Amino acid sequence: MHAVGVVHGRFQPLHIGHLEYLLAGKAACGKLIVGITNPDTTAIVEEPTQPDRHLSSSNPFTYYERLLMVEAALLGAGVPLTDFRIVPFPHSRPELLRFYVPADAVHFLTVYDDWGDEKLRRLGEVGCKTEVLWRRTEKVTSGTEIRRRIATGGDWTDLVPDGVAAVLNGLPGTRRLRGDDA
């Protein structure tokens, strides 16, 4: 058990696979720091291993909207508010991470593809302690699929935690995906 652990993600939007990751990270530490990547449009850069992640259509939710999703997911899963913190996480500029998370924290990662290996490499290069929670080839679901379903009026609520569905229904980002006035 580590004192402080860090997990990170884009959470565009947060889905049940993300919740599995968040809870696995929390199970391995006393205090969990959840880093939200691409916190603003100036932090988004093109990633060769993930060709669409920099597109505005792949990033419809603001940092604050994603913070609400993370909070709803963890609280809904029974994690006390005192056991986690949510911070910006500039993974495209890992040298800046020292301004957002404690230097002695352990960064928990899941690896599904080359992008996961790239994040592991970047964190290691700047001296972050890392621990891979699992390596898999298949994801539970994807933000891409959820965004597609929202945009086309399909059912998406089974792919996100209940608290996140409630948050998403009231967000401007969801209305933007549907093409409604935001």
Q: What CATH number is associated with residue 32?
A: 3.40.50.620
The predicted pLDDT at position 116 comes to: 86
In the 3-class helix/strand/coil scheme, how is the chain assigned residue by residue? CEEEEEEEECCCCCCHHHHHHHHHHHHCEEEEEEEECCCCHHHCCCECCECCCCCHHHCCCCHHHHHHHHHHHHHHCCCCHHHEEEEECCCCCHHHHHHCCCCCCEEEEEECCHHHHHHHHHHHHCCCEEEEEEECCCCCCCHHHHHHHHHHCCCCHHHCCHHHHHHHHCCHHHHHHHCCCC
Query: Which pair of structure tokens corresponds to residue 99?
Result: 């301004």
Helices 16-27 & 63-76, crossing angle to 10 degrees? 70
- Check whether the bond before 13 is cis (ω within 30° of 0): yes
Between CA 88 and CA 110 the distance in angstroms is 19
Which pLDDT value is given to residue 172?
78
pLDDT higher at 55 or 17: 17
Q: Are 54 and 46 in contact, with CB atoms under 8 Å apart?
A: yes
Q: Lowest-confidence range among 40-54, 63-77, 150-164? A: 40-54
Contact (CB, 8 A) for 69 and 79: no
Residue 157 is predicted with a pLDDT of 92
Determine how many CB atoms are found less than 10 A away from the CB of residue 28: 16
The total domain count for the chain is 1
Give residue-wise pLDDT tens across range 147-181: 899 888 899 999 999 999 999 888 877 777 777 75
Q: Which residue has the higher pLDDT, 174 or 87?
A: 87
Domain containing 123: what range?
A: 2-178
Res. 20 pLDDT band, cuts 50 70 90: very high
What pLDDT shows up at residue 40?
75
Phi, psi of 100 (to 5 degrees): -120, -25
Q: How far apart are CA 107 and CA 131, in angstroms?
A: 6
In this predicted structure, what is the pLDDT of residue 48? 63
How many CB atoms lie under 10 A from the CB of residue 180? 9
